[in-house]
Chains A and B, each alone.
Chain A
Amino acid sequence: AQSVTQPDIHITVSEGASLELRCNYSYGATPYLFWYVQSPGQGLQLLLKYFSGDTLVQGIKGFEAEFKRSQSSFNLRKPSVHWSDAAEYFCAVNDYKLSFGAGTTVTVRA
């Protein structure tokens, strides 16, 4: 069965610094991969998705992710973090349903 693993439970980053969140997937075929963000008390918002083609994917809010088949990874990056980026981030893989990782909590310090 398809699954994703997010190795980092919690990351703290300074405002203006770069951010990278890790995601490793397990899937036999070419996966459909997603990153979602969840602010406190909110639902999930799609940041970006990868289906095929170009391995560097651009998303909303200045985020990007790179698909690396050789490493079974789909890491999320942002060059310069804003205080509003503090949230929970989920990586997910899709078959007929979304299978989510446990999430990474991002704290932004001033």
Chain B
Amino acid sequence: DAGVTQSPTHLIKTRGQQVTLRCSPKSGHDTVSWYQQALGQGPQFIFQYYEEEERQRGNFPDRFSGHQFPNYSSELNVNALLLGDSALYLCASSLAARVDEQFFGPGTRLTVL
């Protein structure tokens, strides 16, 4: 049983560019949450997707957007990249009825130059 997978593992972009990160949830899970973890800090909640809709959102600007597909996989898009967007981006999956139990992927390390 595959766990949560994320791609790519690492990514280097320059300021102003756009980036797309991908996440496949654990088998059987229907809810995907995204977190940003800056160096030396705890993860911060970006948003959560269920039934292809954004269900909850944290304190992040509109440059951060997402999508969930019918197979429950998800994408995180960041536009107009800033140096401060450099971070580890973590995806977590869960069942809608059990969002208290989230399983994390290994993350995508984004570096913005």
Contact = CB atoms under 8 A, between A and B. Distances in A.
B42 A102 contact: yes
A97 B102 CA distance: 9
Contacts of A17: none
A30 to B, nearest CB: 12
B75 to A, nearest CB: 18
Contact of A97 (B42, B48, B90, B105): B48
A92 B106 CA distance: 18
Interface string A24-46: 00000000100010000011111
A107 interface: no
Nearest to A92: B42
A108 B84 CA distance: 31
B56 A44 contact: no
A44 B33 CA distance: 13
A102 B107 contact: no
Contacts of A101: 42
Contact of B90 (A43, A51, A94, A103): A43
Interface of A: 32, 36, 42-46, 49, 51, 90, 92, 94, 96-103
Interface of B: 4, 33, 35, 40-45, 48, 55-56, 58, 90, 92, 99-107
Given A90-B42, A99-B45, A102-B42, 17 more contacts: A36-B104, A43-B4, A43-B106, A49-B101, A51-B100, A90-B43, A94-B99, A94-B100, A96-B48, A96-B55, A96-B56, A97-B45, A97-B48, A97-B58, A98-B35, A100-B44, A103-B40
